[in-house]
Amino acid sequence: MTRAGGGSEVRLKNTRKGEKIGWTGGWLGSFLWLWLLGLVWLAKGRLAGGGIMLGLGLLAGLLLRALLPWKHPEVHYWKLMVPLYGVFALGAGLAVYWAGGWTAAGMGSWSLLIFLPILMPLFQMGRRRWMDGEAPAMPGK
């Protein structure tokens, strides 16, 4: 890469740090509710529910670490996201169940539509792979 206005050539290493922060921070943020709900339920004496939610939060963190796309650059994103979405769905299902069911939680059949935006990344980025964002190798380098 040549710097504008200068004749010297500067090599920049593409670490994709922003993408790594976005992936990790986004998923950690999406599971924050599991840890918070678990702590609230533990404080209220609902030990089984609180422990299970904290356990699901721990499972989500371990899965996230194991399924980092830059550690599996040839795997499609959807294959990396499905287990994380599974933990998310299990946690949401258990939370609704322990709240007394779908109607007791104040939800109707139209409430299922709230999950569509949550699933959008799966459909928007699912076919991509980490290596698709890498710069092509320079011939002879």
Please indicate whether residue 67 or residue 139 has the higher confidence score (pLDDT): 67
User: Distance between CA atoms of 104 and 95, rounded to whole angstroms?
Assistant: 12
Interhelix angle 115-125/77-98, rounded to 10 degrees, is 170
pLDDT tens readout for residues 4-22: 555 555 555 668 999 999 9
pLDDT tens readout for residues 66-103: 999 999 999 999 999 999 999 999 999 999 899 888 88
pTM: 0.80
Q: How high is the mean pLDDT of the chain?
A: 87
Q: What is the pLDDT of residue 6?
A: 55
Please indicate whether residue 140 or residue 22 has the higher confidence score (pLDDT): 22
User: Distance between CA atoms of 131 and 141, rounded to whole angstroms?
Assistant: 18
Q: What is the pLDDT of residue 105?
A: 78
Q: Are 69 and 130 in contact (CB under 8 A)?
A: yes
Q: Are 126 and 79 in contact (CB under 8 A)?
A: no
